[in-house]
Structure 1
Amino acid sequence: MADPSIKAALAAKQFIVAPGIFDMISARIADRMGFKALYATGYGTVASHLGIPDAGVATFTDMVGRMARFSQGCRTPVIADADTGYGGLLNVRHTVMGYEAAGVTAIQLEDQEVPKKCGHTPGRRVVPAEEMALKIEVAAEARRSEDFLIIARTDARTTLGLDEAIRRGQLFRKAGADIVFIESPETEEEMKRIGGEIDAPLLANNVDGGGRTPILSAEKLASFGYSIAIYPAVGFLTMAAALERSYAHLLQHGDTNALPEGVIHDFGKMNELMGFPEVWEFDRRWARPEASRAAE
């Protein structure tokens, strides 16, 4: 069931910072931190689950099970990337129902053509605005709870310009979107204009490592009119960097002694993170004397 806390935070004008999660290790770590929401990144989830680019190959079936695991394995509400809704209007309806049943709190739908592409890579094309507006209407009708939020994303800025992206954001809001996401604005001035011209909670996509949009502080984003900042790549980029350093050290030295401090996690802490103490306590409570086992 959708968590009402995100909707309540938006109503109370509380800014939401959401780190990207892409597997259950990243989800468990982020879940302990005290964030108001977690962002289940499509790029990272497809990469970790299938080892392929986020280029529209992953299906609803590939993704909904992963989103269910994130939602059910975390206490923090999950915002989930659902690409284009995996097809036409009927697919969007099915996707919304499936993600809501999985326990997701907010679903992100975008106006790209199929197959879609990552929002900070070239070659993206968008469907007609009216076609996407219908998808938003269908999504809003398909949900069971008003606490389940619809995020409408447009990728029009890169190919059609900022004016069209803002027009689409306004249209999608009227169609029933709870949150509007203008992907890939390229300057602070563009972001400020978006905040001034779209009357809706706004989401900013802060892509570390070379995204198209400047990464701004929560305070500055809030002053521009934004309500949510997602950091989809921070988790898997950090993991990739640490793995490269650790594996390179192992290849060069033949062991993992003298790895740089902070590169490798403490094994005991990892056991605790994954819930082993509960397993050990269960084993202690249900252990039987050796004599009882021998008699069997």
Structure 2
Amino acid sequence: MTKAKRMRELLNGDELIVSPGVFDGYSVRLVEQAGFKTASTSGAAVSNSRFGQPDVGIMGMLDNAQAVAHLARSVSIPLMADADTGYGNAVTVHHAVQYFEEAGVVGVNLEDQVWPKRCGHMEGKQVIAAEEMAKKLEAACNARRDDDFVIVARTDAIAIGGIEEAVRRAKLYEAAGADVLFPDAVRGEDDIKALRDAIDIPITVNMGFGIRSRPTTPLIPLPRLSELGVKRVSLPRMLPAAAMHAMRQALTLMKQSVETGETIDRPDLLFGIEDIMELMDYPKIRELETRYTTDA
């Protein structure tokens, strides 16, 4: 069974799909090791970690497709990708879908922001005309070579035109062939209910853990999201935020060690070398070496 078909089975199943956001080889392998059935790349996290740049359209299509290709081939679970706006018009969407499909991911998010886009919870977002986005989604569906490849239509309209505009767009996007609707920055249960009542395709939402200020989307318990009819929940910033927090903590301790001359070792805060070797499957390399290398 292909990974794309497996993703379709999950979308058609009864269970809520919990999809942690990943951004590098460590994070995607940890998600698989933890037993999650799928993962999704965070465009912001890939842009931030790979290029040291904010998520404002600096990372291009080929940069993104190349990055996710390495992640997709390193795990056996289905991996979805964030393809931003498709990097332009319907023609670039056509090529973007084919590049990402060739990269080995099982589907892409395509959003209705203007290009260059802005990270979903930033102020100052703008959206293109709904009819133009519908044509981009039509192009995406026609460009895929495998019908199981999932086209996720993301709309940022709630923050700009309110839930009524998001519902109008959701209906257009469903008619254009989108497989899943992703309303970004939903403001609560009422928004989810309005969208769920308006369309028949699955709905996916983001939950942003660790936001200290008042979050755009309130945290809703996973069982409740399932009751509301949400099919998939992505957690785009949980793992990159956890990694950054841990790295800052380690660097603070090392700086303290430099300043005091005291050796500070905190194994409780660190992954052991054995853990890393197991995660990255070094035993597989030893097996291949044993099988194929000669005594010479």
TM range (shorter): over 0.9
Q: 1:2 to 1:130 in 2, by over 3 A?
A: farther
Kept in 2, the 8 Å contact 1:2–1:100? The answer is no
Partner of 1:68: 69
The runs of 5 or more residues in structure 2 that have no matched partner are none
Kept in 2, the 8 Å contact 1:2–1:145? The answer is no
Partner of 2:245: 241
Classify the secondary structure of the residue corresponding to 2:4.
coil
Shift of 1:283: 4.3
Query: Which structure has the larger Rg over C-alpha atoms?
Result: 1
Partner of 1:257: 264
**Aligned equivalents of 2:242 and 2:180: distance in 1?**
28
CA deviation profile, 1:21-43 (whole Å, cap 9, x unmatched): 10111111112222221011101
Classify the secondary structure of the residue corresponding to 1:181.
strand
Matched, 1:172 2:173: yes
Kept in 2, the 8 Å contact 1:19–1:234? The answer is yes
Partner of 1:79: 80
Q: 1:184 to 1:271 in 2, by over 3 A?
A: same
RMSD: 1.6
User: May I ask how many residue pairs the two structures share in their alignment?
Assistant: 288
Matched, 1:271 2:268: no
Q: 1:92 to 1:256 in 2, by over 3 A?
A: farther
Partner of 1:9: 10
The runs of 5 or more residues in structure 1 that have no matched partner are none
Partner of 2:106: 105
CA deviation profile, 1:130-152 (whole Å, cap 9, x unmatched): 00000000101111111101000
Matched, 1:163 2:167: no
Counterpart of 2:78, as a letter, is P
**Aligned equivalents of 1:236 and 1:178: distance in 2?**
28
Shift of 1:127: 0.2
Kept in 2, the 8 Å contact 1:249–1:256? The answer is no
Q: 1:256 to 1:124 in 2, by over 3 A?
A: farther
Shift of 1:102: 1.2
Return the TM-score normalized by structure 2.
0.92
Kept in 2, the 8 Å contact 1:110–1:154? The answer is yes
Identity of aligned residues (%): 34
Return the TM-score normalized by structure 1.
0.92
